[in-house]
Chains A and B, each alone.
Chain A
Amino acid sequence: MSEQLKAAAATSSAGGSSAGSPQENGWRLLLGAYFDFIRIRFLTMLAYRVNYYSGILIYTLNIGVNYFTWRAIYGDGESLGGFTGAQMTTYVAVSWMARAFYFNNLDREISTDIRDGSIAIQFIRPYNYVLVKMMQGLGEGLFRFMMLMIPGMVIAILLFPVQLPTDLSAWAGFLVMLFFSFLISSQINIITGLSAFFVENNEGMMRMKRVVVDLFSGLIVPISLFPGWLSSVLEVLPFQAITYLPGSVFTGRVQGVGIWNVLGIQVIWFVVLLIPIVWLYHAARQRLFVQGG
């Protein structure tokens, strides 16, 4: 499987750069190794960049279909759930393009590592496995940002009446929040992936996660359009921090001090989600038994 090849390439090269070096400067070496994980994943993704051209087309198509669906829903164009028609267009475009950036398959990579047993080797290496996965995700994210999200956004702006924010604070806020979207989405992926330690076959969980994130993050339907009880439930779940909150900043529905508040929500979720990851990681190390090995 290609993901494994990538992971193998990444790990072996990082191992190579730290092997044969003396113990001093250990910290700097380790940091360098983590940095290498970002770089190598970025380069492997770059080698397969042709595949992502079709990705740009398909994401544009997604935006188009959603745009026309919402236009049909708006009909005579008042506002729905606090969204004007123009804001909805912008929201749809930026949400799908944000997904093009933050989406990754860390859950699948981790559960493959667990199922084929290669996790055992990864655990005895002198680095933190979860952190390495995060770094690889970052490398992939960097690639997706530059090769998928930016060109996709340009096409979306040309094709659909997207309104870019004029406020500098909205741009700055959105970019910072986009990074946290990536962090939180990857954290959820890592939690899902590590669950393979406990259920042996977590295919179903991974699929469920994907569906739940797409729906409850506000990608398909903005949270404020859900019926009251559901949107109040979703406001206390981490998923809205992935799409809905950054999207609200970009469309200008949240402005000024409000940006700090929604950013605060993201930071809180980032910290809170660290707890299950650390716990799962330690529980997993205790529990590790390799299937068929």
Chain B
Amino acid sequence: MYYLGLLFEYLKNYMKTRLTYRADFWVEVVSDLLFQATNFIFILVIFMHTESLGGWSQNEVVFVYGFFMVPFGVFSCFVNMWGFSERYIVKGEMDRILTRPAHNLFQIFLENVDPPALVGSVIGLIIMGISGSNLGLPFEWWTIPMVIILTLSAVAIYTGIYTTLTSLSFYSDAPTGILPLMYNIQTYGRYPVTIYNRAIQVLLTWIIPFAFVGIYPAALFLHREEMQGMALLTPVVGAIFLGIGLLSWNYGVKRYKGAGS
């Protein structure tokens, strides 16, 4: 309850700062959408030259893409750790966070909320609707609950991976350029992983499980038998990776001694 109240206060604060830079809000929405559009154009161009991608039709790939956008939007809205090392550790902001009663990671998430990202989720849902009806997908009683459960699981996977990577900055003071590059890799979880070779499949499934934020859960709605089991495993993978993320974060915070300035 206390945390919900905090969330509300931070969002109010966000709106106030945003109203001063109103144009920025829209620039951000547009640039987010453009980023998504790039990938969309890629899919369209691919299917101008081929009928199927590893046995998946254009509508199916577009549907997966739509699903991918939903958890990604939620994740980018609430979890944004871009430049954590520079902004919190080097500048000593982490000390301020630690003196407050709420959990430090929660505070960092809240300080960086980014509601414009949710526009992407809405568009993802629309894309799912359009391509789903093109495919004639049945709307089952479990569709909506599963969308919610799988979205939350995928958000947990994202949060776990990025929290783990960010917590590395507690152990080493050198800036890590890994985060931006990860953003590239996660988009690969959107294509049928079976087109890749064994090594990349294993990597995207078990090591940095980005296949679980796109193709596997979406396969459930597409009634692709071969990935049904993987789809149902999504919440488990989400729980495990979120756990790893939180553990390495908390351990990192314990080791944290301040930048010493």
Instruction: State whether the Cβ of A214 lies closer than 8 Å to any Cβ in chain B.
Output: yes
Q: Does A80 contact B (CB under 8 A)?
A: yes
For window 22-78 of B, CB contacts with A under 8 Å fall at 23-24, 27-28, 30-32, 34-35, 38, 41-42, 45-46, 48-50, 53-54
How many residues of chain A have a CB within 8 Å of chain B?
40
Could you tell me the distance in whole angstroms from the C-beta of B133 to the nearest C-beta in chain A? 25
Note all chain B residues with C-beta closer than 8 A to A215: 38, 41-42
Cβ of B101 under 8 Å from chain A: no
A68 to B54 CA separation, bound complex (whole angstroms): 10
Q: Does A236 contact B (CB under 8 A)?
A: no
Complex contact A214–B38 (CB within 8 A): yes
State whether A68 touches B196 (Cβ < 8 A). yes
Of B21, B34, B87, B188, the contact of A211 (CB 8 Å cutoff): B34
Q: Do A61 and B203 touch (CB < 8 A)?
A: yes
How far is it, in angstroms, between the C-alpha of A59 and the C-alpha of B191 when the chains are bound? Answer: 18
* Cross-chain contact B86 with A2 (CB below 8 angstroms): yes
- A204–B27 CB distance below 8 A: yes
- A20 in the interface (beta carbon within 8 A): no
Known: A58-B185, A69-B191, A207-B35. A2 touches B175 (CB 8 A): yes
- What mask results when residues 155 to 180 of chain B are scored 1 for a CB within 8 Å of chain A, else 0? 00000000000000000001111100
Q: Give the distance in Å from the alpha carbon of A59 to the alpha carbon of B182 in the complex.
A: 10
A214's nearest neighbour on chain B, judged by CB, is B38
Find A221's partner among B30, B34, B42, B90 (CB 8 Å cutoff).
Answer: B42
The number of chain B residues touching the other chain, given as a range, is 35 or more
Cβ contact within 8 Å between B31 and A207: yes
Name A204's contact: one of B31, B38, B48, B87 (CB within 8 Å): B31
Instruction: Tell whether, in the assembled complex, residue A73 and residue B49 are in contact, meaning their CB atoms are under 8 Å apart.
Output: yes
Q: Are A51 and B175 in contact (CB-based, < 8 A)? A: yes
Chain A residue at minimum C-beta to C-beta distance from B187: A65
Q: Are B195 and A211 in contact (CB under 8 A)?
A: no
Q: Give A188-242 interface residues, CB cut-off 8 Å to B.
A: 199-201, 203-205, 207-208, 211-212, 214-215, 220-221, 225-227
Smallest CB gap from B192: residue in A: A72
Any chain B CB within 8 A of the CB of A71? yes
In the complex, per-residue mask of B189-216: 1 if CB is within 8 Å of any chain A CB, else 0 = 0011001110110010000000000000
- The residues of A that contact B1 with a CB separation of less than 8 Å are none
Q: Is the C-beta of A22 less than 8 angstroms from some C-beta in chain B?
A: no
Where the two chains meet, the residues of B that have a C-beta atom closer than 8 Å to any C-beta of A are: 21, 23-24, 27-28, 30-32, 34-35, 38, 41-42, 45-46, 48-50, 53-54, 83, 86-87, 90, 174-178, 181-182, 184-185, 188, 191-192, 195-197, 199-200, 203
Q: A55-B177, A61-B203 are in contact. List 9 more A-B contacts (CB 8 A).
A: A48-B175, A58-B182, A64-B200, A65-B200, A68-B197, A72-B192, A199-B23, A226-B45, A227-B48
